[in-house]
Amino acid sequence: MTFFDRLFRSARSAPPGDALYRAIVAEARTPDWYLAGAVPDTVDGRFDAVALGLALVLLRLEREGEGQRQFSADLTERFIADMDGSLRELGIGDPTVGKQVGKMVSALGGRLGAYRDALAGGEALEIALARNLYRGAQVDPAAVDWAGRRVRALAARIDAVPLDALVGGRL
């Protein structure tokens, strides 16, 4: 994109990765996560649900190879912008927003590793979910089982979507 393209593009044009990020957030807001899956309906619980969906998409893009590196970075930037805005809406002040967003990005990185390993058969997915989605809280085993099945189905669905449709925002 040239300087003039950036200068004159519509203020309404969405940033790269916006459609897919909105689809990830919509999935994370599905009531089943909070009802059947017993994800806490809190700021932290909602963050964990978004981070889970984003991690699954980033893992798919990672398997696509180098050609998707920039789009993965764009999608992560969209996540960062959303987290920054959300923290500000909660009244978190400027001096600490950057630190909090940094912690969220670090948490996303940890979840990427945990879910990559779990979905590859290294660690039981339910153990990774207990640590990351539920943050070690005691949760009804039926809810954890439900979440494990939902994550596996979501990962399979993400993997089955053609890449251009995924990038366009279809999960």
Contact in structure between 62 and 72 (CB atoms under 8 Å): yes
Instruction: Say what percent of the chain tops pLDDT 70.
Output: 93
- The owner of tokens 């366009």 is 168
Contact in structure between 169 and 23 (CB atoms under 8 Å): yes
Domain ranges for the chain, please list them.
Answer: 17-167
Helix (H, G, I), strand (E, B) or coil at 29: coil
pLDDT in tens, 7-57: 455 545 788 899 999 999 999 999 999 999 999 999 899 999 999 999 999
Contact in structure between 84 and 95 (CB atoms under 8 Å): no
Q: Rg of the chain over CA atoms, in angstroms? A: 17
Q: Name 65's Cβ contacts closer than 8 Å, sequence gap at least 6.
A: none
What is the rounded CA–CA span in Å between residue 70 and residue 68? 6
Instruction: Say what percent of the chain tops pLDDT 90.
Output: 67
User: Of 156, 160, 158, which is closest to residue 20 (Cα–Cα)?
Assistant: 158
Q: What is the mean pLDDT of residues 151-155?
A: 97
What is the rounded CA–CA span in Å between residue 101 and residue 88? 11
